[in-house]
């Protein structure tokens, strides 16, 4: 969640001017406390033990489209560090989807041989 915020917040604050920070930070004016907050929220969600299983391709591609959208906006507004984060997240997402598909194919072929 924090990594996604590294891509989205610069676009929202610098390019789209949705909000401003009272005490600006060094990463496009975003204070580190904002990212620390996302780490805390993420840690609480992970510690809760709730496990969400995302089924099908639709939710996966919606998530990717959000990252790509903000990455393209970052490029359009010359926010290259944010664009780099978005590119890295998109590549990671595609790698995970690929690995999940491979695992699914292997488990289906193993079940078919029983």
Residue 11: band (very low, low, confident or very high) from pLDDT cuts 50, 70, 90: very high
Token pair recorded at residue 68: 């790509």
Instruction: Provide the greatest CA pair distance for the chain.
Output: 63
Query: Is the pLDDT confidence value at 113 over 90?
Result: no
What Cα–Cα distance (Å) separates residue 99 from each residue in 52, 76, 93, 113?
Answer: 18, 31, 10, 21
What are the φ and ψ backbone dihedral angles of 25, each rounded to 5 degrees? -105, -170
pTM over 0.85: no
Domain count, the chain: 1
Task: Summarize pLDDT for 51-71 with one digit per residue, the tens.
Answer: 877 777 787 788 899 999 999
Q: Which domain holds residue 55?
A: 2-112
Q: Do residues 35 and 13 lie in contact, with contact meaning Cβ atoms separated by under 8 Å?
A: no
């Amino acid at each position: 969640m924090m990594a996604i915020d590294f891509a989205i917040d610069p676009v929202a604050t610098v390019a789209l001017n949705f909000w401003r920070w009272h005490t600006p930070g060094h990463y496009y004016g975003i204070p580190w406390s904002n990212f620390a907050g996302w780490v805390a929220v993420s840690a609480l969600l992970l510690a809760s033990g709730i496990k969400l299983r995302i089924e099908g391709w639709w939710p996966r591609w919606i998530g990717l489209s959000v990252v790509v959208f903000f990455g393209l906006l970052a490029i359009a507004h010359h926010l290259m560090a944010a664009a780099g984060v978005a590119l890295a997240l998109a590549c990671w997402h595609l790698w995970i989807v690929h690995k999940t598909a491979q695992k699914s194919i292997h488990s289906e072929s193993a079940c078919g041989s029983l």
